[in-house]
Structure 1
Amino acid sequence: MPDFDFRALRRFPDVEAPNLQAWDATDELLVRWALDSGIPGDEVAVIGDEYGAITLALADAGISGIRVHQDLVTGRRALARNATALGISGWASHDLGAELLAGARLVLLQLPKALAELEEIADAVARSAAPDVTLVAGGRVKHMTLAQNEVLARRFGVVQPQRAERKSRLVVASEPLAVPADPPFPVRQVHDGLTLCAFGGAFAGARIDIGTRVLLNAMEGLSVPVVHPNVIDLGCGTGALAAAFALRHPDAVVIATDRSASAVRSAEATMRANGIEGRVQVTLDDAGSELPDASADLVLLNPPFHLGASVHEGAGQRLIQAAARLLKPGGEVWTVFNSHLDHRRALSREVGATEQVVRTPKFTVTRSIRRG
């Protein structure tokens, strides 16, 4: 295996911390498999390469023409930054679909956390890649389950787990099976008149997660004293908050933004399903970084408390800081979070005066007013 320095990779602009690194042993195993296969780069697709470790190690070894799909825009930006810093090229980014997979004989996959996302990826590979494609999926052993093998087996005739190495394991799927005429995603569910749509990688699928439900209920008492308010659903997921607000306030200008491409596609489908696609703008962005400062009268926020498989408050803290930047003086952010988290202190520090609106056994909803 070439002497690629994985330690030179950074996670930035994603959260960085001493206990968070930009690669793991799974990346190295996938790189070694690809190099041993001898398959040329223009027949290789990489999916779920969080910060570019797989792609850049292969490109550094002279494998060119690799096609890459990363769901998170933070991962896409980290890959680009790492490539620039290391002076590496020879790869191209694509959305999940035929452009990414057409003619691919080898697909390298960092296993996603959600089975639905794995199902969507496996279907896309079986549907669009070469007939003799091999999908090599890897993950940390402690996060792998037999259910993942079962999902792969619904789209591939042969699924072979490999021996674990350095606490990581590869699963090799080959002989793709016939796929149904229509892809399995997006899925749809109706909740009290609100239709949610979800692609595989969207958090909670087409369900309304408990925290979002608590904030939706609290929003029934929310009044915005501004005519044509500018509203941002920050980290919108499938777009439940943005859609519900737009339906209740037809005069509002609503932006729904998320760093996940799967979430953005889901939110776009949600807006179409509810007949409000012309009134809600959906964007792929990292913590609203491309939105102007002091542009929002109201921010709706249900921040995550996981970074991949790690429990970490950093992602939520970044969104709280983003909310403070995006709000006009006197504007409000309504936030829901797990009650054990210290987000109220962060909201008071970053935004301004913060009060509790609702508290359940698991969740707290707060209202924060942007200081002038």
Structure 2
Amino acid sequence: MNSFTTPWGEFDLARFPEDPRDPLRAWDAADEYLLRHLHGSDGEPTGLPEPAGTVAVVGDRWGALVTALARHRPVQITDSFLTQEATRANLARNGLAADSVRLLSTRDTPPDRIDVLLIRVPKSLALLEDQLHRLAPRLHEGTLVVGTGRVTEIHTSTLKLFERLVGPTRTSLAVKKARLIFCTPDPGIQRPANPWPHRYALPDGIGVISGRTVTNHAGTFCAERLDIGTRFFLPRLPRHAEPERIVDLGCGNGVVGTAAALANPRAEVLFIDESYQAVASAEATFRENAGPGTTAEFQVGDGLAAVPPQSVDLVLNNPPFHSHQATTDTTAWRMFTGSRRALRPGGELWVIGNRHLGYHVKLRRLFGNCEVVASDPKFVILRAVKR
């Protein structure tokens, strides 16, 4: 936890889940720059009006922005379950009422009218495109629109997207490697149709799911095409015939869990991801491809935290090794420990990962065993059994 100094006071903030050993803060220079601008202390002629009306904050990564702006009762719009949990925790630790911020996901209907739109530019340009399509009709001529991000996150394509979907756009000077985007809504703008969700057919040679069509909402991992790691994993998934409970952990577009359901129609598959866009994609993919009588659940959550202990037979996992701009194995470790807790004795965790990540060391430490199922020069498939 660290103290975040803003024009509206100091706030103790932490990421979620909170880890005292984590040196990363719950905010950065882009958040600071945006708040100084809204306060009018950066020299720009415009700032946050009083009263502000409906303030919508998109992509606030750990709730730093909405916590600082809680007096304006903002609406937070995020694709991340962990962001929502961080926001709740940060409001509580600063003595702010839980209802001072309205939490919406990127799948929820936005407010009818938005008077101030603040956007933390996401890593995914597709997610930004989808959100601007959804939000632009809620803006009016007087809406204050400000984006923020690090200079490495704001590209010409980012600015063109604002220009094409919202209105005239300019940027600020860079301060501490952060930049602001100023956009003036044009009510008469002619927007193209929203291209999301995107659907594509899977290639041949990847097992039972070959040739099937997958649905990808914006921001989902590998939304344009099947990634090479999953392509390696799919034809090598375990084949069981008996009834079992399977978890597609970090499900993305659900292609792995759907393949498992096709291979074993007697299985019950639980799709879990912390991304609302991903879980919506997984559900669409499963519904289109699953055979009659197959059952599935879809859960947005913090890994396996909400899954009862010893209730799962098989976990299939392609863990991420990036959290925003940080390269870390923290998420993978939490997925592995959660899997061990959720698995029944004799249950199995199957992991696909880059060879250099060394997941076998962690799995042997946690499970007491780890077997290499298959490998190539880039990827390795590992199997650990709960004893």
TM over 0.5, shorter chain? yes
Find 1:321's aligned residue among 329, 333, 337.
Answer: 337
Provide Cα deviations, 1:76-132, integer angstroms capped at 9, x if missing partner: 111101111111132111123674342102211111101111111121121333354
Provide Cα deviations, 1:45-89, integer angstroms capped at 9, x if missing partner: 001111111001111xx323x111121111111110111111113
Find 1:25's aligned residue among 8, 13, 29.
Answer: 29
1:366 aligns with 2:378: no
Aligned to 1:174: 184
Deviation at 1:14, TM superposition (A): 5.8
Provide Cα deviations, 1:1-26, integer angstroms capped at 9, x if missing partner: 635224x1010216664431101111
Find 1:207's aligned residue among 225, 248, 267.
Answer: 225
Instruction: Answer yes or no: is the 8 Å Cα contact 1:234–1:257 preserved in 2.
Output: yes
CA distance in 1, matches of 2:62, 2:309: 28
Change (3 A) 1:101 1:165: farther
1:310 aligns with 2:322: no
Select between 14-23 and 327-336 the one with higher mean Cα deviation.
14-23
CA distance in 1, matches of 2:106, 2:81: 13
Identity %: 33
Change (3 A) 1:132 1:286: same
Find 2:305's aligned residue among 289, 294, 298.
Answer: 289
Equivalent residues in 2 for 1:1-372 (5 A)?
2-6=7-11, 8-13=12-17, 17-35=21-39, 36-38=47-49, 40-59=51-70, 62-64=71-73, 66-89=74-97, 90-96=100-106, 99-176=109-186, 177-180=189-192, 182-191=193-202, 192-219=210-237, 222-224=238-240, 227-275=242-290, 279-371=295-387
Select between 136-145 and 333-342 the one with higher mean Cα deviation.
136-145
Deviation at 1:145, TM superposition (A): 2.0
Ranges in structure 2 where 5+ consecutive residues have no aligned partner:
1-5, 40-46, 203-209
Kindly provide the amino acid, as one letter, of the partner of residue 191 in structure 2.
Answer: V
Change (3 A) 1:349 1:190: same
Select between 275-284 and 133-142 the one with higher mean Cα deviation.
275-284
TM-align CA RMSD: 2.0
Instruction: Answer yes or no: is the 8 Å Cα contact 1:135–1:173 preserved in 2.
Output: yes
CA distance in 1, matches of 2:248, 2:109: 30
Kindly provide the amino acid, as one letter, of the partner of residue 347 in structure 2.
Answer: G
Change (3 A) 1:285 1:318: same
Provide Cα deviations, 1:336-362, integer angstroms capped at 9, x if missing partner: 011101211111122341111111221
Kindly provide the amino acid, as one letter, of the partner of residue 230 in structure 2.
Answer: T
Provide Cα deviations, 1:203-256, integer angstroms capped at 9, x if missing partner: 11142211111111211xx2326x211100011011010111111211101000
Task: Report the count of equivalent residues.
Answer: 363
Select between 305-314 and 121-130 the one with higher mean Cα deviation.
121-130
CA distance in 2, matches of 1:82, 1:14: 10
CA distance in 2, matches of 1:304, 1:14: 18
Partner SS for 1:120: helix
Deviation at 1:198, TM superposition (A): 1.1
Partner SS for 1:201: coil
CA distance in 2, matches of 1:28, 1:173: 19
Partner SS for 2:60: coil
Instruction: Answer yes or no: is the 8 Å Cα contact 2:52–2:115 preserved in 1.
Output: no
Partner SS for 2:173: coil
Kindly provide the amino acid, as one letter, of the partner of residue 331 in structure 1.
Answer: G
Provide Cα deviations, 1:123-173, integer angstroms capped at 9, x if missing partner: 112133335434311111133322212222221331111111121101122
Change (3 A) 1:322 1:97: closer
Change (3 A) 1:331 1:98: closer
Instruction: Answer yes or no: is the 8 Å Cα contact 2:320–2:331 preserved in 1.
Output: yes
Instruction: Answer yes or no: is the 8 Å Cα contact 1:356–1:366 preserved in 2.
Output: yes
CA distance in 1, matches of 2:93, 2:300: 24
Partner SS for 2:160: helix
Change (3 A) 1:194 1:134: farther
Q: TM-score, normalised by structure 1?
A: 0.92
